[in-house]
Amino acid sequence: MYFNANDVTSFMAQKDFIDTAIVPLVSIDLSTEKMKQSGAEVDFVMSLTSFIEQQFKGRLLVMPPFSYMTTLKNDDLPQQLEAQLHNAGFKHVFFITCDHYWTKSGEIVNMIWLPAIPLESMDASVKKSILEDQLRQVIPMLSTKWAQI
């Protein structure tokens, strides 16, 4: 489920079963030399998050991406977002990002860092295969946390 009008209505009716929030963290770099890479990272994170949502529909809610400029990073951001989501009733909160900066937060919050894979020039079947491979890396991270409760 996604954080939109239709899915939120379903979420409210099934809140007892949807215990996980996924938050894409995406870095926006508008410098000429890094803008394309930044766009590729956003594309990858959003594609992977969408793929995860398809596989676990009814178990998790995908939040809108939290976008930030590289110069405006706040080290406390993940903990603040996680606290708000826990207060809203989510037992598990996972952040997904391609920004290596956030890996240091992995000791405090559930941070899933994956290197960006440029998807823009791939045909649909190759893109799906890549996303399936990435999902196989993410599933154990989710399953481990889900099994702890």
Q: What is the pLDDT along the chain (149 residues), one digit of tens a residue?
A: 999 999 999 898 998 889 999 999 999 999 999 999 999 999 999 999 999 999 998 899 999 999 999 888 888 899 999 999 999 999 999 999 999 999 888 788 999 999 998 888 888 889 889 999 999 999 999 999 888 85
pTM of the model: 0.91
Within 8 A by CB and 6+ apart from 101, the residues are: 27, 73
